[in-house]
Amino acid sequence: MKRPPAQKSASQSVDLLALAECVEQFSSKTVVLLGDFVADEFQFGEISRVSREAPVLILKHRETQLVPGGGANAANNLASLGARVLPVTAVGMDSAGDALIGHFRRKRVDVSGIVRVKGWTTPTKSRFLAGWAHTLAQQVLRVDYEPQTLLPDTIRKKLSQQFSSKLRKAHALAISDYGFGVATPELVQQATAKRKNALPIALDARYHLHSYAKAGITAATPNEAELEAQHGATIGQNIEELTRAGRATLSAMKLQSLLVTRGRHGVALFEPGDRLAQIPVHGSDQAVDVTGAGDTVLAAYTLALACGASALEAAHIANIAGGLVVMKRGTATVSREELLEAIRGQASGAAS
């Protein structure tokens, strides 16, 4: 069937109708998510007065919300985008672990790959948001609860077994490494080496991106700060420095594509052959909340690659998804319907 004439964005040539067709296929794909599940807790309250004990505000608690964060947010985005997601991770036998498992059960996500660990703390980021009676709440404090011990060898063995088993059913693998020990280069390398057929493997690593150089990663989605940390660089408006760091990582990790998220500057896509595409931010450059936007980008980019999209097409899809999610407050997701509506809206605007 012949497609209508291609629609082009202002930045790079892409067929926006092809992007929509790709997103429509999301529901036919199965993606394994290996990574660190984090609980994002939001405690809302009203400022009642200044304490007599110290020069601090007293927050009168109103409500607490707990939503998936970190790798759990990436898994949540994959599910919202329509994919069948198979998470492989570890959580503690605590209330945060209970809440995360309960959330995914309600979304009918297979939780058999989530291993419970006795005596281990589910990583939790507790944010306190304060405001007056008729004002918008602002974050005033964040308290992080992190595991104090490494995952036991018995748990690592269980994770490896679950990972290998789930990977046999996958069209793609997304890795969300927040540094809590679930995802490791060795685990990925061992599991992927057993596969006869190659599949897209996308990585989002908070630390030590290049440690995955021999793990068979095909794509990575670091943000600019993570790329700077890897190379000891300061990028800012320096496109030459961005190009140097991006090409160095692409080469060192032998990637098929490297997608660098740059906040209000959009994204930069590096491919072999010294190809660099800079895509402006989708929508407004005044983000409401960037919490978890990288998780959304990882999910959308992985799914698009799983559907056979080119790196440039996948980058546009991920950029649009990221632009949508930063306009929402808190740790949020983008649905397949929202993404399709945004792409079709952009296509209509380009055609008029």
Residue 338 burial (CB count, 10 A): 17
Which one-letter DSSP state was computed for residue 307?
T
Using DSSP, state whether 229 is helix, strand or coil.
Answer: helix
Residue 110 bears catalytic tag: no
Q: What is the DSSP letter of 102?
A: H
Catalytic residue among 36, 94, 177, 295: 295
* d(C-alpha 341, C-alpha 335), whole Å: 10
Which of left, alpha, beta for 153 (phi over 0: left; psi -120 to 50: alpha)? alpha
Query: Are 81 and 75 a contacting pair, CB within 8 Å?
Result: no
Residue 103: Cβ within 10 Å count: 19
Distance CA 156, CA 286 (A): 42
Q: Is 326 helix (H, G, I), strand (E, B) or coil?
A: coil
Smallest CA-to-CA distance from 11 within 267, 240, 275, 285 is with 267
In DSSP terms, 89 is beta-bridged to: 114
List the beta bridge partners of residue 57. Answer: 50
Q: Are 334 and 300 in contact (CB under 8 A)?
A: yes
Q: For residue 135, how many other CB atoms are within 10 A of its CB?
A: 10
User: Is residue 327 classed as helix, strand or coil in its secondary structure?
Assistant: coil
- For 21-55, give one letter per residue: b (16+ CB within 10 A) or e: bbbebbeebbbbbbbbbbbbbbbbbbbeeeeeeee
Instruction: Give the pair of three-digit tokens for residue 110.
Output: 């297979």
Q: CB–CB of 299/332 below 8 Å?
A: no
DSSP state of 223: B
Which residues participate in catalysis according to the annotation? 295
